[in-house]
Amino acid sequence: MNSKIKFKTISNLTLQFFLILGLLTQCTLDLNNPKDPRSRGFFETALWEEYLRGLCNTDLRGTIRFGSGTYKIYPYQLLKLKSGNFLVTAGVFESVSWNGNPNGKNFSYSGTPGTDINAIIFLINGKSFQVEWLDYLGIITVASDDKSTVPAVELSNGDIVTSAYVKSTSQGSPISSKSNINSLHMVRYNQSGNRVWNTYLDKADNSIVESRFVLITDEGDNIHFFFNGVGISMTPDTVGFGEFPSMVVPSDATNTGNKEIGWGVISQSGNPIKQRYLPSYGQTIIKDATYLGEGTILIFGGAEDNYIGYTGHPLPSYNFQRPMVTKLSTSNFDMVNTTYLGTNSTNHTLGYISEAIIASDGVYTTGVSAGDFGSSFHSFQLYSGTTSFRNAIFSKFDRNGNLIWNQFLGSTLSDIVELAPKLSYLSSNNLLKAYTFSPVSGALFTGFSIPITGKGINPYQKTTLNIAGANGYYQSIHYETGLNNFPPTSEDLLTNVAVAKESCGGRMVRLQNTIDINTEIGTMEVTTRPAYEEP
C-alpha cells in the first residue's frame, strides 16, 4: 500500500511539473536569467527545484567516510545545490578513495602523503547519497583547517566555482597561466564534474592570507571573491592580482603585516573584471559573505579599528577585535555602511562573526563575542576565572546590516571552547540549529531555563542548541558525550561538525571529522540520518 501511495504521489508530481512547464513555454518574456524573477528561466528553475525537493526522502540514512586514519584531514565546505545534491570541499594529506576509485576525475593527488595537503571537491547525489565525482585542485600552500581555505559557490545554471591557493604545478590549459610559485587556482565545474574552465591569479608572495577566501555570485553570475591582503611594506598595494585591470582602491598599508579586505570580480567565463581594497586603519578580517539581491552584499568578520573614512568601532586604536558586518554595493563597487558589535571595555580583546546564513526574513550569524553589548534575552555569561571573557554569539541582521537581535551562549562556571559554533537554518519552521561543544571543564552552559535533552559526561560534550529564528529565544539544548575518557587516550576520538545543512523536512546532512584531539589525525565523513532522530 505504501509503495502504491508513493508511486501515485510521484506520478502526480510529474504530471504537475510537465503541465506547468508546458504553460511556461508559452511565456512571451525574452529574459532568460534564472536569477531574475521577471524571466521565464527564473520560473522554470524554481519549478524544477521544487519538483526535486518533492522527491527528497526525510528518512534517508547514510554515511560516506574518507581517509585512512593515518593522516590529518580537514573538512571545509558543504553546499546544498539547487538540484538537491551536495557539494563538499576538503583538504587531504593522501589520496582518498571514492566508490573504490583512488583517482580524481580530472586530476589526482600530488606530492608526498602526510606532508602535502591537496584540495579536493566532490559531489554527492542527494537521493542515493553516493559520490558522483571527485577531483583534486592541487597542493595547498598552507595546511589550514580554516573553512575558507577552499570555498565554493553555485552559479544559476548549476555549475560550481571553487578556488584554492596552491603551490603545485599548473593543471590543464588555464585561461591565465600560473606565474608565481603560489597562486590562487579558480575552477568552474559542471555538475558532471567536467571542468568548464580553470585559471590562475597571481599576487606578490607574502602579501595575502593563503587560507581565507570567500566566494559569492550576483544576478549576472559574476563571481565576487574576497580575500585578506597583507601589507609587506608601508606602501599601499596598488597592484593586487596581476591578471586584473589596475586597482580601483589601493590598500592603506599603515603598518607592515596589516590585514585588509580585498574584493575582486570575475565574469562567469573566468575573465577578471575589477579589484579593490576596503582600506582600514587596523586589521580587518573577512570570514563570510552573502548576496541579498538588488546589488547588495553583506560581508562578515572582525575588525580592530575603523575603515578609512568610517567611524563606529567601539574601541578604535586599541587593536582589539570586534565583530563586523559591512554592506557593499555591486553597482557602485563600494562600501555603503558598516556595523560593529561589542563592548568598549579593554577587558575584552576578541570578537568576530564566523558564519552567515541568508533567509527570507534576514541574515543569521554566529561567532565569538567581545564582551556584553546590546539588549539580549540570553545575556552574556561572565566567567571571572578567565582572561578572555569569551561567549559564543548568535545574531540576526536585516538586509542593510542593522542588528535585529543578538544572544549569548556561555558559562559562569567555566570558559568555553575557542571554536565558534556551526550554524544551520531550517526554513520550514524558521529554526536555527547550532552545533558546538560544552565548556572544557566539563561544566554545562548557564543563563537559561530551557528543556535539556541527552546526558553526556566529561568535557567537550557534543552540543546541539535549537534557536527560534523570529526572536532568538533558545528552545532546547541537547548534550551528548564526546569523549568517554578525559584526558583522552589515543583510542578516544572526538567528532567535530564542520558544516550542517538541511536536506528536507528536518533531515540534516553533516560534514564532520573524527579525530584524536592531541594529534588531529583522523577521518572525515558526510553523514545523514532520519529527521526524527535529530535532537
Grid-cell match 590549459, residue found: 173
Separation between Cα atoms, residue 92 and residue 288, nearest integer Å: 23
- Asked whether residue 344 carries a pLDDT value surpassing 60, the answer given is yes
Confidence of residue 115 (pLDDT cuts 50, 70, 90): very high
Which of 83-92, 247-256, 263-272, 303-312 has the weakest average pLDDT?
A: 247-256
**Farthest-apart Cα atoms in the chain, separation:** 74
Return the beta strands (E) in 81-177 as ranges. 86-92, 118-124, 131-139, 152-154, 160-166
Mean residue pLDDT across the chain: 91
Task: Tell me the mean pLDDT in the region 57-63.
Answer: 96
**Helix, strand, or coil here: 52?**
helix
Q: Could you tell me the pTM of the whole model?
A: 0.91
Grid-cell match 602579501, residue found: 207
DSSP state of 410: B
Considering only residues 213 and 415, tell me which one the structure prediction assigns the higher pLDDT.
213
- Asked whether residue 30 carries a pLDDT value surpassing 70, the answer given is no
Q: What is the pLDDT of residues 374-430, one digit of tens each?
A: 889 999 998 887 666 789 999 999 999 999 999 999 999 988 888 899 999 999 899
Q: What is the pLDDT of residues 143-190, one digit of tens each?
A: 999 999 999 999 999 999 999 999 999 999 999 999 999 999 999 999
523 closest CA partner among 514, 531, 532: 514
- Asked whether residue 299 carries a pLDDT value surpassing 50, the answer given is yes
- For residue 37, what pLDDT is reported? 46
- For residue 347, what pLDDT is reported? 85
DSSP state of 15: H
- For residue 490, what pLDDT is reported? 85
Own/partner contacts of 166-172, CB < 8 Å, gap of 24 or more, are: 166/119, 166/137, 166/138, 166/139, 166/140, 166/141, 167/138, 167/139, 167/140, 167/141, 168/110, 168/111, 168/138, 168/139, 169/138, 170/200, 171/106, 171/107, 171/137, 171/138, 171/198, 172/106, 172/107, 172/198
Task: Tell me the mean pLDDT in the region 474-494.
Answer: 94
SS3 content of the chain, % helix, strand, coil (to 5): 10, 40, 50
- For residue 34, what pLDDT is reported? 54
Task: Tell me the mean pLDDT in the region 507-523.
Answer: 96
306 close to 281: Cβ distance less than 8 angstroms = yes
- For residue 20, what pLDDT is reported? 47
- For residue 27, what pLDDT is reported? 46
Task: Tell me the mean pLDDT in the region 33-53.
Answer: 55
Grid-cell match 547519497, residue found: 129
- For residue 24, what pLDDT is reported? 47
Separation between Cα atoms, residue 320 and residue 344, nearest integer Å: 9
Indicate the burial class of 341 (C-beta count within 10 angstroms; 0-12, 13-18, 19 or more): buried
Grid-cell match 586589521, residue found: 283
